[in-house]
Amino acid sequence: MVNRVVVGAHYGLRDWLIQRISALVMVAYVCALMLFFYWSAPLTYDSWKTVLSHPFVKIFTLLSIIALLLHAWVGVRDIFMDYVHPYPVRLMLQVIVILLLMMYALWAATLLWGM
C-alpha cells in the first residue's frame, strides 16, 4: 500500500460560514414576516402589494432568498457528497443545481421588481 501524505482540500470553512450566516439572515426575515402577518391581518392582495413595494422590503426579501439559495447549495452539495459517489455524476448534478439556484435568484428578482 502506498502511504500517501494526507492533507486537507483547503476549502470548506467558507461554505460552513455561509451556512451559519445565511441561517441568521433567514431567521431575521422569518421574524419580520411573522410581525407583518401579525400587524396586517387579515392579509389581502393590497397589503402584500403595499409592503412589497417598499424598496427596503424588496432588498431584504431578495437578500433572504439569496441566503436561502446559498444555504440550500451547501446542504445539497453535502447530500451529493454523501450519496453520489461516481464523481462525474456528482459534478453533473452539482452543475445542474448551481444553474437551477441561479435561475431561482433571477426569477425572484424579476418577480420583486417586475410587479
Partner 1 sequence: MKFSIYRYNPEKDEKPYMKDYDVELQHTDRMLLDAILRIRSMDDSLGLRKSCREGVCGSDGMNINGRNGLACITPLKDLKEPVVLRPLPGLPVIRDLIVDMSQFFRQYHSVKPYLINDSPPPQKERLQSPEDREELNGLYECVLCACCSTSCPSFWWNPDKFLGPAALLQAYRFIADTRDEATSERLDNLDDPYRLFRCHTIMNCVDVCPKGLNPTNAIGKIKEQMVKRMV
Q: Which residues bind partner 1 (CB under 8 A)?
A: 6-17, 78, 81-82
In the structure grid, which three cell numbers stand for residue 108, read together? 425572484
CA dist 113 and 69 (Å) reads: 19
- Comparison of 13 and 41: residue with beta carbon closer to partner 1: 13
- Comparison of 15 and 84: residue with beta carbon closer to partner 1: 15
Compute the 3-state secondary structure of the chain and give helix, strand, coil in percent, each to the nearest 5.
Answer: 80, 0, 20
Q: Cell 396586517 sits at which residue?
A: 40
CB of 40 to partner 1, least distance (A): 37
- Comparison of 62 and 74: residue with beta carbon closer to partner 1: 74
